[in-house]
Amino acid sequence: MRRKLQRFLDNASQRNLLEPGKPAFDNVLGNWNRDIFGNDRQLVVELGCGYGELAVALAESSPNRNVIGVDKRGARMWVGSSDATARGLVNVAFLRADIAELDRYFGPGEIGEIWITFPDPRPKHRDARRRLTSPRFLNTYKQLLRGDGWVRFKTDDAELFDYTLALLGNGIGVRSLAYTKDLYHSPLLTEQSGLQTRYETRFLERGASIKYLEFQFHSGRPARHTTARP
Ligand SMILES: C[S@@+](CC[C@H](N)C(=O)[O-])C[C@H]1O[C@@H](n2cnc3c(N)ncnc32)[C@H](O)[C@@H]1O
């Protein structure tokens, strides 16, 4: 508990971590590049970034892009925020916020790429709306992504993966969809898709196969609000 409190105290003075109470927090919508990064580079957003390993690795491997990790748990993001500071990375930031309210922090078309990494599977049918790949979330991502923007999704959970694939083939309106149920034996494995999060490393150590998909949205058509059963 003391460690967690210390992390919250540290977060309060971390420049790369935005959270309620900090002046920049309430004004980021539409202003990430102008106010936070001071340049005009593409924004990459990782949803549910946890300890921030991927956000930091993406920032390090793509100095020409700005990366933002989003999570509601500040004590976890402390790890990524501190690591980014120690590495001198100026193109990564962390946002403590609820992903259900993503449109309070990003404007239409402001995001260039979205990563959804090992989200909670929420297997109960009554929790389907809370899955980060449910139609209401997908609709928000579509609104906030640039027309040519990509969504990239990784999970170890077969049911969540199949649920997501079924939705994408069912009126959501996507293009360029590619997927694999075993990323590390697939041509979809790239330097980028092979960057690992903390949960991913754990799952791989247990022998799990990593499911991965990527797609772009068709412009226009909104995602249909059907709820596919797992
Ligand atoms: C299973 S962990 C995965 C963390 C990280 N992506 C990884 O692979 O190591 C899921 C993360 O999503 C975050 N999360 C879940 N729902 C969220 C929400 N609605 N808003 C913000 N963060 C959320 C949790 O706090 C947690 O850190």
In terms of DSSP bridges, do strands 111-117 and 145-155 run parallel, antiparallel, or are they unpaired? parallel
User: Is residue 130, in this structure, part of any structural domain at all?
Assistant: yes
Q: Report the candidate in 132, 110, 145 with the shortest Cα–Cα distance to residue 218.
A: 145
Q: How far is the CA of 160 from the centre of ligand 1 (A)?
A: 15
Compute the distance from residue 178 Cα to the ligand 1 centre, in Å: 24
Q: Which amino acid is at 89?
A: L
What are the residue ranges of helices labelled H in the chain? Answer: 2-13, 53-61, 74-86, 135-144, 158-168, 198-205
pLDDT value at position 2? 86
Q: Would you say the CB of residue 100 lies under 6 angstroms from ligand 1? A: yes
* Domain containing residue 13: 2-217
In a domain, 102, yes or no: yes
**Ranges of the chain whose pLDDT falls below 50:** 223-230
Q: What is the pLDDT of residue 220?
A: 62
Predicted pLDDT at 93: 98
pLDDT for position 225:
42
Q: H-helix or E-strand containing 115?
A: strand 111-117
Atom of ligand 1 nearest to the CA of 119: 10
| Per-residue model confidence (pLDDT) at position 230 | 33
**163's tokens:** 């649920």
What are 66's strand-pairing partners? Answer: 43
**Residue 97 included in any domain:** yes
Is there an atom of ligand 1 within 6 Å of 99 CB? yes
Cα–ligand 1 centroid distance for 177 (angstroms): 24
Domain membership flag for residue 131: yes
pTM summary value: 0.94
Q: Is residue 140 part of a domain?
A: yes
Question: Is 190 within the bounds of a domain?
Answer: yes
85 is a domain residue: yes
pLDDT tens across 151-170, in order? Answer: 999 999 999 999 999 999 88
> Does any domain span residue 113?
yes
What's the one-letter identity of residue 198?
Answer: R
Domain count, the chain: 1
Q: Which long-range contacts (CB under 8 A, 24 or more apart) does 56-62 make?
A: 56/80, 56/83, 56/84, 56/87, 56/89, 56/92, 57/195, 57/196, 58/92, 58/115, 58/192, 58/195, 59/84, 59/89, 59/91, 59/92, 60/87, 60/89, 61/191, 61/192, 61/195, 62/91
Among the listed residues 163, 153, 154, the one whose alpha carbon sits nearest the alpha carbon of residue 122: 163
pLDDT for 219 equals 78
Tens of pLDDT, residues 83-116: 999 999 999 999 999 999 999 999 999 999 999 9
Using only the alpha carbons of the chain, give its radius of gyration: 17
CATH of the domain at 12: 3.40.50.150
* Pairing state between β 211-217 and 145-155: antiparallel
